Amino acid sequence: MIKALRPYKMIDSVYTFDFERLYGEGFRGLIFDIDNTLVGDNAPADERSRRLIRSLSQMGFSCLVLSNNGIDRVRSFADGMGCRYLCKAAKPHKKGFMDALALLGTDKSNTACFGDQLFTDVLGANNAGLRVYLCRPLDPGHERLKIRIKRVFERLVLPRR
């Protein structure tokens, strides 16, 4: 696999991930993609996602959602979560990730990213020098056409899980 497309680790879900261990490793900033990482594609913030962000904040993490979606989608989601956000991030370009670090007040060494797409989330986080976890999509059966097309190419690159 091309190094820039290699996640630090592939995980089943942010909802089963051991964030306490990550905190123990010294991480303090968390950057999340929205669609199919925290909720299904184009779904609003739900109680499970709000509970996760609340518990992470109480643990001592600073959280931010970083999305290529527009302001209406991202703001309404992040406001429902009670966390910071950046929209139209132009992932995989590293600028959105670097802007996220500035908003979080963290740096590359203590910030981790979580997303479901190889060619945006993983490539962008790697371009920015961040640790990135690739999540299984929460609801792959209900994705927009352009995402389903990207998934075909992801399967050509990703090792079988």
pTM: 0.88
Q: What's the average pLDDT block by block, 10 residues per block, for the chain (161 residues)? A: 83 96 98 93 91 96 95 90 91 95 96 92 95 85 67 64 53
H/E element, 108: none
Say how far apart CA 62 and CA 104 lie, in whole Å: 6
Q: Say if residues 53 and 83 touch (Cβ distance below 8 Å).
A: yes
So what's the pLDDT on residue 80? 79
Listed in sequence order, the DSSP H helices in the chain are 19-24, 47-59, 71-81, 95-104, 123-127, 145-157
Domains contained in the chain, CATH given: 3-25+32-95+111-119+127-156 (3.40.50)
So what's the pLDDT on residue 149? 65
Q: Say if residues 111 and 97 touch (Cβ distance below 8 Å).
A: no
So what's the pLDDT on residue 147? 67
So what's the pLDDT on residue 43? 87
Whether the upstream peptide bond of residue 92 has omega within 30° of 0, thus cis, is yes
Of 39, 51, 37, the closest CA to residue 115 belongs to 37
